[in-house]
Structure 1
């Protein structure tokens, strides 16, 4: 049970209700459905969907391969660009990326279901072949340290292993997978899919994972630079932004990311505490995920409050609609002002209404109060720069994240970075995978051409 939550109404629903509420949110396509959907593709030359994909998957090619009854070949096309294509098919906001760019979306308002087709192909390969289509090259004798076993780290490690380099991944958690394992809604990846995909990625060989090893605590960047030929930083964001209110240590006030992680690892959902009246502060995917899951765990009232207007929310329109369909109320243009207590316990949270003045958020002075026995903080995560200390040289930051160039090189020689910890502009699983692949190719070039590493 999360340490900051009181034991509120665990076991509120029946076992059947819990099971139904956390079924796969996107049932997969069967063979016939996949072929029919693939036939809708125009197979555009210079396809806009490919340009909209952060990993540049050849979408028309993989869809044509499905149409010609070659799903395993289709999966190879996908995985050659995105080794975590199975999970990305489940969690990627395709509605704002490839599917939004689809010509059928422009013409009919009904895009080809690219995400579900990608899932169909990758599921066939993983379930029927049971092994990946990529082989490890002969060992180069070069060693690369990867910090973080999330999407960026796994993608980098796999591509480096393909090139024959030996990789050691250091991860603070007891399981690999990063946010795919600990940070997304349970109904998006049921049946332990995140770990199945991790096993699939690691099966290439040449990759060792050391769990419970956090940078800055158990291993230093200086040590890694001294022991390995290259280092890739993909440890995500360990810090959580605070509300800045008195009483944030009250029972009932918790970090959304921590609660989602507890939920993802729970063997029995009925043991999880969930408030009767839940308020979530934030407007991104984490805010929506914790809100919807709270409702599906049995919370009676769940409200998401975001400081700006709907158009500024980080969560996609689809995710917002999903939340509202589940009974979550979303309120905009308000920021938290005060936590209210009764008999030493959280009772409510007061908000001040806001408005935009030339791009600057200002308070209007008007307030409202929402009753709450649980308040989740979902206002973003931050890099902990202290974790990168201990080196004679300092790594440069940009906007609180690690500064990188187009090849994901940092300002420290021999060190690359990608994923949420790097200042690459997009906090998406698919973007993290792209970062890992791009960095791995740059590392390989540097290790193959010593002058490039200088």
Structure 2
């Protein structure tokens, strides 16, 4: 990947677009993990022990039969391998690109324990699913129509997985989303270099080939849609509305120009037709310690920021972003500062610097010290978590999210939920897929009277 570097034109002040030449931007935002070729896939598959009681399966939230699909690749049955994956995870192509395999299936791999080098499960999963999608064929067909109609609110990973499984089972699903495009997190919230060339929409279009799914965008729950009307007009409702709100940055001056949520910055970049039109600061400070913070800081550097710094309030071991993602950001020149709490945004009208207080994280919680420091910043991105935005009345909440049981059922009869909006999840794409799929199975059992 081409390192970000200042443009050859005169240095642009403040937040501005076009800091890098188009060819540099194209190189920076190319596929961060190019796919395996056929020979590489066979070599990678040959390392699998094909464990009978495979720990990698237990570590996968969607419980894909990993040894089976790898053996199918090894024997040349690549499309069969894809069907094995997709039968459990219909978004297997996206998950192969963004799933933190290093902390899930690959961490559990016997090769990892024995040699410190796991089988490349994620790369092999991408090899198989990409091969099948390239044929244009859809591996599943619909059952006989049941006449039942289900409203699926939220066209992110959970909603897509739920709608697809319902369609397979013969139900008609209407998929609603508040944004102009379906896809949710996959379309709006993931670093562009992880899913280049419009993969999110290509996978969505491929998924819809199952039939029986109607997509309606620009429909927000609480505005154009009401849960009461959906419960009246449909046989069941699934909520996969994600977390639409963002936690407020509790620092003086947080409303100054140049301070914005990191998720908005990422979404703007993802929807940009021309990366040279996306404005970025010369000195960018990102506050937070999760994947959103990593994606925002890394992409700011790739857009041409001279400095990009992530500041997290606790120690590095408490950061929710994986170690691999942290190291990737560092390789791009991103600096990570820990044990520091934002106190105020400095500047007259617009951000010029952020003042932090050093902090200690002990048994009694986080304690600020009297020692402070400041970082110059013309763009400050807040990535300190998201919240459920506008939960419908009557739904029981748990920790600020929709309370669900093990089957995805909410406190309202006929209403299920899954994904980031539901309590108990891990806020991962793969977990959302599993919850959407499993809720669909329970909806099917309920509508079938079983």
TM-score by length of 1: 0.95
User: Which residue matches 1:412?
Assistant: 412
Partner Cα separation in structure 1 for residue 16 and residue 246 of structure 2: 26
1:25 aligns with 2:29: no
Further displaced range: 104-113 or 363-372: 363-372
Q: Given that residues 311 and 340 in structure 2 are in contact (C-alpha distance below 8 angstroms), is that contact kept between their aligned partners in structure 1?
A: yes
SS in 1 for 2:193: helix
Q: What does residue 71 of structure 2 align with? A: 64
1:8 aligns with 2:15: yes
State whether residues 173 and 212 of structure 2, in contact with CA within 8 Å, keep that contact through their aligned partners in structure 1.
yes
Q: How far 1:425 moved relative to its partner?
A: 2.8
List 4+ stretches of structure 1 deviating above 6 A. none
Aligned to 1:95: 102
What SS does the corresponding residue of 2:118 show, helix, strand or coil? coil
SS at match of 1:280: strand
Secondary structure at the aligned position of 2:343 is classed as strand
Can you list the C-alpha shifts for 1:367-423, whole angstroms capped at 9, x where unaligned?
111110010000010002x3413xxxx111110000111101111110000000001
Structure-2 residue corresponding to 1:356: 361
Computed over aligned residues only, the root mean square deviation of the Cα atoms, in angstroms, reads 1.0
Q: 1:418–1:424: 8 Å Cα contact kept in structure 2?
A: no
Q: TM-score, normalised by structure 2?
A: 0.96
Aligned with residue 289 of structure 1, among 286, 291, 295: 295
Give distance in 1, aligned partners of 2:166 and 2:278.
Answer: 40
Deviation at 1:61, TM superposition (A): 0.1
Give the Å deviation of 1:345.
2.0
- Return closer, same or farther for 1:317/1:359 CA change in 2, 3 Å cut-off: farther
Hey, what does 1:262 align to over in structure 2? 268
**Among 212, 216, 226, the residue aligned to 2:222:** 216
CA contact (8 A) 2:343 2:356 kept: yes
* 2: CA distance, partners of 1:47 / 1:387: 40
1:378 corresponds to which residue? Answer: 383
List alignment gaps of at least 5 residues for structure 2. Answer: 1-12
Q: Distance in 1 between matches of 2:14 and 2:365?
A: 40
> How far off is 1:362 after superposition?
1.4
Question: 3-state SS of the aligned residue for 2:351?
Answer: strand
CA distance in 2, matches of 1:159, 1:335: 44
Q: Residue in 2 aligned with 1:49?
A: 56
Question: 1-side partners of 2:425 and 2:25: how far apart?
Answer: 37
Q: Is the 8 A contact 1:408 1:416 kept in 2?
A: yes
Give, in whole Å, the separation in 1 of the partners of 2:190 and 2:249.
Answer: 22
> Is 1:439 aligned with 2:439?
yes
Query: 1 CA distance for matches of 2:235 and 2:366?
Result: 47
2:194 to 164, 188, 196: 188
1:346 to 2:319 alignment: no
In the alignment, the residues of structure 1 paired with residue 367 and residue 399 of structure 2 have an alpha-carbon distance, to the nearest angstrom, of: 22
Gaps of 5+ in 1: 1-5
Count the aligned residue pairs: 438
Contact 1:217 1:387 in 2 (8 A): no
